[in-house]
Amino acid sequence: MSITTSNITIQDSPNSSPSTKSCYTVNIFGTKINTIVTSNPFVVDQFIRNIHNTFGINYGQIDPIIIGLDVETRPTYGPGQNRPATLQLCVDGNCLIFQIIHADYIPDSLYELFECGGTFCFVGVGVKEDALKLMTHYNLNVANAVELGSFAAERENRSELKTFSLKNLTKEIVGWEIEKPREITMSRWDAQPLTRGQVQYACVDAYLSYAIGMKLTWGSV
């Protein structure tokens, strides 16, 4: 089964462990993103190990590795705030959608990943707020969170970019026009399983954050 929206599509991918994860390929303007959805801490461990293996991590290295970071939360209708339901990480054509609200526990590898401020740079629109939510609700300390709006304003010397949404920043920096359907934005992110529409939406947000971060830093995605 696949879903098509403009220049973005999602389809199922081969999955050797269907009991612990779901696998998809999300095609975003010609780039295929291998996407894993899971609430299993061991799958999260494996994803993070793959990051280390891919980049040959050298802690304290000069150039930090850019990772797109985003969270999705069930909308709140009233006082208080719901816990983040999903945590998305995207780097180098791979995306993890961790259904953190359903996890039995959070693996140490995720705590360690976020705390390596000199090695990893976690980028996103509203990422500081997302980092605060992760600290408040899950005691996850995102040591190096960079707001893409502020970063873009500095790099492009355009102060107005500070307040741009992810949709508008994507158009300005990488030249892609995207849609963010309200019915998915406001959907039940604590559902299990997530719909394909939710998976596509969550992956796209994390990947676009990564793509903008790469474009601003290196001039290409």
26 backbone dihedrals φ, ψ, rounded to 5°: -105, 120
User: How far is 202 from 27, CA to CA, in rounded Å?
Assistant: 13
Domain coordinates of the chain in residue numbers? Answer: 2-218
Contact 38, 99 (CB under 8 A): yes
Strand partners, 90: 68, 95
**Are 135 and 127 spatial neighbours (Cβ–Cβ below 8 Å)?**
no
User: In this predicted model, what pLDDT tens digit does every residue of 56-114 receive, in sequence order?
Assistant: 765 555 578 999 999 999 887 766 789 999 999 999 999 999 999 999 999 999 999 99
pTM: 0.94
How high is the pLDDT of residue 4?
A: 40
CATH topology of domain 2-218: Nucleotidyltransferase; domain 5 (3.30.420)
Spell out the SS3 assignment of 7-18. CEEEEECCCCCC
Over residues 153-205, the pLDDT tens digits come to: 999 999 999 999 999 999 999 999 999 999 999 999 999 999 999 999 999 99
